[in-house]
Amino acid sequence: MTAAGSKEINVTPLIDVLLVLLIIFLVMMPIMLRVESVALPSHSEDTVNDGVTVTLKLDADLSVGLDEGPMFPNHELAARLRPKLANAKAVFVDSVDAVPWSQVVAVVDTVRGVASDVSQPDVTVAIRLRPTD
């Protein structure tokens, strides 16, 4: 026998609402994910010989080295990189593990910005991670 004023909680509407929210979140997750596309240069010898490659070395103290040259502060990168990108086809950013990823992305953004300033928007930027010495 069930009484008209049952003291049990009806959980069916709660479960229905939770299932609807779950479906909404499952549909929205692929839309909310941001993907950064990375274009890597090919490893064939033809692409290396077609143009000049520039190598940037980013150390743990956030200093930058340009083509085996001396290390300099990160804020000087754009000024020193501008003459090198005039005929460059690829830029490699070598980073040690201790460098925060946000700084590596900032260096890549700086390279892309300088490349667009010197009318070289087709410069390929590749990131190489190296272990901490």
Q: Is the pLDDT of residue 16 over 90?
A: yes
pLDDT digits (tens, 9 = 90+) for 30-45: 877 766 666 665 665 5
Phi and psi, residue 60, nearest 5° = -65, -30
Q: Is the pLDDT of residue 47 over 50?
A: no
| CA–CA distances in Å: residue 68 to residues 7, 43, 45, 86, 94 | 78, 21, 21, 18, 11
pTM of the model: 0.59
pLDDT digits (tens, 9 = 90+) for 86-103: 778 888 888 888 888 888
What is the C-alpha to C-alpha distance for residues 76 and 64, in angstroms, rounded to an integer? 9
What is the C-alpha to C-alpha distance for residues 33 and 28, in angstroms, rounded to an integer? 9
Specify the pLDDT at position 48: 46
Q: Is the pLDDT of residue 52 over 70?
A: yes
Q: Could you give the residue ranges of the DSSP H alpha helices within 82-117?
A: 101-117
Average pLDDT over residues 3-23: 87
